């Protein structure tokens, strides 16, 4: 059984960033990354792929090009974590032991979390940028009118703003192609508000009203009836269903019983329900009960495990009360790397803390973007330099350029190299 000083589970954004930072700090550290995939994906651009304004192939690179020099790549899937015996099991490479463990396998799509989702996804107008953004673009190009419905599940999801970004882009596309008057654009969400941070919510509410978008809070998707092209929602608040923006019966909703609402669609875009990988859920490192059940139990500021001090977790799999985004990882990775270096060299944690920073580049149309940056408790946390130049709570063309060109460049050349 091979032992490593630091073993990293997951070679996505979080795992690679931590490995790169650790190697930059101490090139002699003995490390390995467990990651089965040959490919590394820049998923933030998938919103733009779904709207036909970014090439899918440019979001894919070889994983081997980003594993830091001197780090062993165990090209396999992790299947178990035993924190008591400090071992990680894999599908075909056996077990590995560690002094320190970094848990960053991301999350997985649960296509069985909504009845009918697995059978309907990828055909008949049912699409998801989370799974196949190229099919979203195909659906959008073939759309001729009717209901374009955008929704998301009640589970945590990565990039919570993504389901509404494609909705704004679709609405803009329909305007540009003379189809807007024949179409209803509907955003149905289990949430209570369009966005949790007031400054950005004010802008988005204004956009929704000005562009005649139906906003349906308290709508949790529970079933897709692809044969009849209808989506079923459970309404999670008693009383009459609410609609901010446009009041109109043209969407032909039906209320069934006390809490079920059935809505026809021509285009249905959704984020599938998402969860931690099974081997995480089944490990002692996950919360066993409560609202964070199944996600890794860490201190929200140090990212150190609350029961096993030799374990850290970051990225989508960590139970943190903030949005699951690559931007969040950019602030988490330096904290984890610093803490590991300090523990190894001085047997104590470092001074760096993670304050919950996350960011959601809210694309609101072709050539327009609101850059929502925030930290724990939905406190706005905009970049001081950008804030001097722009009001990032407004729709801006420079922010669109940042999303389309700046952020991908920084991701591949700076973030994954441990330089920012």
- Residues acting as catalytic residues: 159, 360
Cα–Cα distance measured from residue 187 to residue 297, given in angstroms and rounded to the nearest whole number:
32
Render the burial of 95-105: b for 16+ CB within 10 Å, e for the rest.
Answer: ebebebbbbbb
DSSP lists the bridge partners of residue 188 as: 151, 216
C-alpha span between 122 and 126 (Å, rounded): 6
What is the token pair recorded at 341?
């270096």
Rounded to the nearest 10 degrees, what angle do helices 133-142 and 162-176 cross at?
30
- Count of beta carbons in the 10 Å neighbourhood of residue 414: 12
Strands 368-375 and 379-380: antiparallel
């Amino acid at each position: 059984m091979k032992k490593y000083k630091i073993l990293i589970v997951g070679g996505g954004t979080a795992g690679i960033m931590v490995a790169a930072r650790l190697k930059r700090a101490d090139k002699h550290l003995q490390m390995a990354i467990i990651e089965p995939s040959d490919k590394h994906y820049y998923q933030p651009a998938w919103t733009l792929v779904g709207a036909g304004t970014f090439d899918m192939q440019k979001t894919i690179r070889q994983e081997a090009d980003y594993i830091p020099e001197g780090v062993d790549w165990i090209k396999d899937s992790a299947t178990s974590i035993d924190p008591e015996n400090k071992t990680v099991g894999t599908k075909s490479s056996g077990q590995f032991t560690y002094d320190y463990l970094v848990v960053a396998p991301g999350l997985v799509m649960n296509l069985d979390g909504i009845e009918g989702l697995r059978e309907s996804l990828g055909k008949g107008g049912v699409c998801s940028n989370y799974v196949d953004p190229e099919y979203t673009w195909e659906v959008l190009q073939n759309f001729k009118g009717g209901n374009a419905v955008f929704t998301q599940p009640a589970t945590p999801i990565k990039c919570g703003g993504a389901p509404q970004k494609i909705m704004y882009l679709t609405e803009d596309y329909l305007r540009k192609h003379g189809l807007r008057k024949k179409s209803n654009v509907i955003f149905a969400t289990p949430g209570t508000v369009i966005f949790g941070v007031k400054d950005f919510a004010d802008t988005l509410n204004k956009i929704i009203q000005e562009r005649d978008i139906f906003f349906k809070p308290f709508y949790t998707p529970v079933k897709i009836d692809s044969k009849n092209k209808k989506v079923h929602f459970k309404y999670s608040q008693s009383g009459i269903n609410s609609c901010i923006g446009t009041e109109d019966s043209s969407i032909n909703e039906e209320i069934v019983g006390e809490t079920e609402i059935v809505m026809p669609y021509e285009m249905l875009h959704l984020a599938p329900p998402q969860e931690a990988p099974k081997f995480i859920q089944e490990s002692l490192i996950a919360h066993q009960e409560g609202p964070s059940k199944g996600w890794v139990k860490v201190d929200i500021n140090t990212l150190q495990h609350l029961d096993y001090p030799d374990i850290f977790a970051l990225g989508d799999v960590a139970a943190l009360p903030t949005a699951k985004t690559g931007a969040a990882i950019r602030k988490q990775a330096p904290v984890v790397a610093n803490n590991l270096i300090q523990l190894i060299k001085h047997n104590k944690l470092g001074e760096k803390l993670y304050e919950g920073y996350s960011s959601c580049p809210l694309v609101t149309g072709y050539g327009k973007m609101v850059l929502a940056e925030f930290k724990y408790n939905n406190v706005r946390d905009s970049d001081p330099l950008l804030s001097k130049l722009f009001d990032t709570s407004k729709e801006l063309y420079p922010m669109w350029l940042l999303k389309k060109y700046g952020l991908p460049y920084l991701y591949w050349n700076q973030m994954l190299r441990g330089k920012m």
